[in-house]
Structure 1
Amino acid sequence: MILTNKTGIVKPLADAIKALYGSHPKMDIYQYSATELLKSPKQVLLNRQHGDEVEKDLQEVIDAVLGTAWHKAIENIIVSQADDSCIVEQRFKAPIMISTEWGDKDINLSGGVDLLYRDNAGLHIVDWKTCKLTKLDKARDGEEDDWKRQLYTYAFLIEATFGERPIDGTIYGFPKDLTNAEFNIEDPSKFKVQAIKYDLSDREYEKELLTDIKAKLRDIYSVLASDIEPRECTMDEMWQYPSSFIVKKPESTRASKVCESVKDAMSFLVDKGWIGKGYMIYERPSEPKNCSTYCPGLKWCKQGQKAVQDWKDAQTRAKTFNDKGEEV
């Protein structure tokens, strides 16, 4: 990756940001990480093929850098205090066999576990993350599948290493957008540190997860071993979900409610008694969020470019409604 400094951050600070952002070692065709495989096969391939060509400004990586710095600070303190019951920041590995037209291939899967500890009940995984409050809300509602997949993959790798399975995993989330004014000691969803716990005993879920991982690895290997094009990303992999309708006052920066239709938005306003209170309903076109914001391979992906352009075109046609449901 090429890191630029277009805004002129003073060199010592710029160098520190670059060092904290770091670089990821290149893996060969037989090595993949658990977090890498949360992405689609096409995104994995684009990242691997064009990673050295991706250009980002230091301003664009600040969130990642702050998360890394916070992560390392916690890790260093835990390491200094840990006893034999804890394993801190260790990478676990295990081979996975996939069947391809070139024969069976052993692929090495790995995952970096923040903390593994033992108590009288057994082994427990702990992972800590800085993230947005909405991500924690989704996880609490069972809608954040990436974290569940990540912890189950870690459990598989740990069991393959030690012959013993962790009984649960906990994500400790630090919501970076929760203000002191919003903090509420009586409401766990408004804590500054939030714990999302996952039971790791569902073998059927793990079986389905490993089947999906093998399918991704097979797709990736087939592209790298031949001249075929990778399959297109699905709507879910692009994080593109149906259009929604936002209820808020024009001057507000936050939505009071996100609804599936104007009818649902009107029902919400009626239930709240907010008719005549200055609220409006704004159409929010379906955005391929992964493509538009996160995928570094967009420059080389025609599918992603078209999806982003279609979304931008839809934004110019997006409708606004008053609290009577009338288009304005």
Structure 2
Amino acid sequence: MNTEITNAVNAAGDKAQYDARVKRILAQKNILAHILVKTVDEFKGMKPEDVVTYIEGEPKVGIVPVEPGLSNIEKTDATGQRIVGLNTENAEINEGLVRFDIIFYVRMKNGLSQIIVNVEAQKDEPTEYKILNRAIFYVSRLVSSQKERDFVNTNYDDIKQVFSIWICMNMDYNSLSHIHLAKDEMLSPYDWKGNMDLLNIVLVGITNDIPEHDENYEMHRLIGALLSTELREQEKLDIIEHEYNIPISNELREDVRIMCNLSTGIEEKATEKTSEKFILNMYKKGYTLDQIADIAETSVAAVEAVIKKKEPAMA
């Protein structure tokens, strides 16, 4: 395998590991509680540490397929009793499928009803598709996948309220949008029976500049600090622990440490790749080695090394 392909494979591996750590960190119940307090009306005004107790079981991270027909698993127990639940098995068989980043159930304060919450992390707003369109698909799957799992036959009144929360980094400004169903009366108003609040999409835009610790931006500061490529490991942990009173477990500390290391490696590889491309483009356009070295702020020897390494491919 040539060096370029090897580097590409290594970079892809680092990126996959980084993404996995981001999901693991966001899936910490103490972090999810802060997100719920700012995005779900039921929990607004509550202390995040109190909301933690309403999160049921362990959030499923990157293991539940989005695709129709694959989100649920059905089996029977030893007594022949039918069991249904989120499909978290045979991940290797279904390799390559799109999966929810994080998905979990939350018990409401009445102790009876539940909601289903999905959290998706994006490094920025996608350009290959409109993010709202994808969010609509996800929130629709969160509803349709409940059939035969959370409700059976035509018991549509048993459908659980769903939230799909999308966190987009590297945005121009901090934002928070709630998108949900609305009813427009086109003739005489009529009170149609049903739950208008079943579908909820929340889009969270977060900038690279971490905001001050202000009530309106508490969630943005927490997530911004956690996922920042500028802050060092200990700076992140200090903000999490001292500003948000989140206990630092060994698992969380390790995830933050690995994520920071991976982030540094990815950034260095990206810088190196950009630098090589810049030098080669200058060389192809006829600039001298001295001119390239001066503009790229590097040595002539370094420029020569890049060109020699790529000369066979340029021939």
Q: TM-score, normalised by structure 1?
A: 0.29
Give the structure with the larger helix fraction.
Answer: 2
Give the structure with the larger strand fraction.
Answer: 1
Q: Which of 1 and 2 has greater Rg?
A: 2
